[in-house]
Amino acid sequence: MNDKERPYVLHTNRELEMMLARAKPMAVFAHEKVDGFEKSDALANQDFAPHVAAGTLSEHVRTRTISLPSGTAMDIDYWFYTLKGEEWRVEAYWLLIDFLHHRGGARN
């Protein structure tokens, strides 16, 4: 399916653009702490920093440690960006992640 066939606009790699247009209240990016995979890769090279510094957006970072099927632990950083006044969404999303990892059957 190409973009013209979709009944909605994809957010992928357009999160910052949509947030600045106030069409998206929050964006979330996950970054597995693996050598060679940088934060900018997780953010699809979108530069949120100047907008956080200007106070247009807020940034929240949380880390979760999961157990891989091999038993090895891996840390995952989650970057949350919200419009001002939408920070409550971070806690709501984090509660969902917690539920999925602890009660929803995912390995933690």
Write the CATH number for 49: 3.30.110
Global pTM?
0.78
Which of the pair, 106 or 56, is modelled with greater confidence? 56
> Domain for residue 91, yes or no?
yes
> Domain for residue 28, yes or no?
yes
Region 26-53: what's the mean pLDDT?
A: 78
85 sits in the region (left: phi over 0; alpha: psi -120 to 50; else beta) called left
> Domain for residue 26, yes or no?
yes
> Domain for residue 108, yes or no?
no
Which of the pair, 64 or 108, is modelled with greater confidence? 64
* Domain extent at residue 7: 3-102
Residue 99 has pLDDT above 90, yes or no: no
Region 6-16: what's the mean pLDDT?
A: 75
- Total domains in the chain come to 1
> Domain for residue 45, yes or no?
yes
DSSP-assigned beta bridge partners for residue 67: 73
The CA distance from 64 to 52, in Å, is 23
